[in-house]
Structure 1
Amino acid sequence: MNGNKFTGTGIALITPFTNNGSVDYNALSDTVNFQIKNGIDYLVVLGTTGEVSTLSCDEKISVINHIIEVNAKRVPLVVGFGGNHTQAVIQQIQEFAEFDEIDAILSVAPYYNKPSQEGLFLHYQAIANASPVPVILYNVPGRSGINISAETCVKLASEIENIIGVKEASGNMEQLMSILKNKPKDFLVISGDDAITFPLISLGGSGVISVLGNAFPKEWSQMVRLALDGKNKEALQIHYKMFGIIQNLFTEGNPAGIKAILSMKKLCENCLRLPLTPISESHYLKLSKIVEDL
């Protein structure tokens, strides 16, 4: 499987909502076009940042189909297929009718159940066997309550051809280095955390699936491209330029911070679905000042 199309900057795309709580398809179109116009490498939809857990099944299909139409194959498309019931995830894959329109799936570690590493391996093996497109693992122990160990990640990468990469958001640099050292050559290690994108690339990582890039696709894509090209001095300047935003982006939850910034940029309403809420007025003003200073 060719994973080169997922090297660089992927965007963990938001799902815009109107003030009455419905999906804002006009804003979704604007957001997709904004990303592509500003040089991102691929889109990732129906992930955490897209508030996927608050979307109905019908809304998920509508959002995917709308993005497929707007994107028009301009950039690769990754769709989230994950859960803590392996057979249910497989059924979702089997019932999905648009695999000829997407390039990979992103599958989060099964949350809440806290399976063993053997359970994680078998879970992903079953999903990979069911998927007609490549699979990218998503390791985010802070949300899922379970960590895909470096050993399990490398085993999946080595033994299952259809698993082409991992979005790593453990924040454990020793684990990341262990994966990078022992992985197959073409296996992608993608940052799931904007703050460590630059250091991960410098260690051999493949790029980022970014939240920050929703609002700053041009700048963040440029940073990633420079880092991948070994132009570390120039990349580091952008990294630190954006670091103040990254430090404050997730203070009151994700995607609350990025939606606030996107509302400042008139790309969407500052609306989330419960149990998530918009950031506080004081934090909104703080983020607004940081954005203005840029």
Structure 2
Amino acid sequence: MILWAWKVFMPHRIFLLRGNHESKYCTSVYGFEQEVMAKYGSQGQHVYRKCLMCFEGLPLASLAGRVYTAHGGLFRSVPASPSKKPKGKKGRKNIVNPEVNSLSLGSLEELLKARRSVLDPPWEGKNLIPGDVLWSDPSMKPGLSPNKERGIGLLWGPDCTEAFLKKYDLKLIIRSHEGPDAREKRSNLGGMKEGYTIDHEVESGKLITIFSAPDYPQFQATEERYNNKGAYIVLKPPKFDIPVFHSFEAITPRPKVNAYYSYEDVLDSDEELDLASMATDTGGQPSPSV
């Protein structure tokens, strides 16, 4: 709400991008819906629907100078659907299914054309770019491959980072999406103790993961904590391509706050929750009229 207030106050200075939790499924699982209901009383349902509308309309990515930013990262190329249904057996044989077609890196032109107005980005079908941009993760393995741990999005290697940077004359890809809990399971990538990592360093530039929540997760069922720092990046004009990192720690002792979801009963990791969301098959449905 504070960020939206800043956006309203300075619409040409504040730019907000969508994250993977700005969906109907994640807002219900992680407590946002319950918090809105508790704080807004009889108007809670109305406020929650309006929030979903705002989430649905947020941009997926941005370009600032020579920097590409997105929550998850890169995305696949999805073949365009034919304007007319093909006739005859020969035409039917030529229909391309993007789910089984070989993966190739998508373009900014395709990103601009993608239908981003979806409450829960689909994990199957033809409108796959929003899910990729919000849910994908970097890998040290070359090429593109399905992100099986999450059940949605892709894994992309250093070669894809280089190809994307070189094609668009960029120097940096900045993304988030992975905290210390996620990186603990990926020993071939940097940890998140300082709030950021440089995951790919290629000829044309760098891929950076930034995570701004210190001492994450906030609510845990165990005494052991990651005690990670959060971080933010300052980029200066004209090209915005020289990152200056600033790390910070959580306030101690942590203030007592309410959890609006049963974190002791929730699945252990984002990855497991992501797979659970796929099983519910909520993705890709158009938003209700509000």
Same fold (TM over 0.5): no
Which one has the bigger helix percentage?
1
Larger Rg: 2
Shorter-chain TM-score: what band?
Answer: 0.3 to 0.5
Q: TM-score, with normalisation over the residues of structure 2? A: 0.33
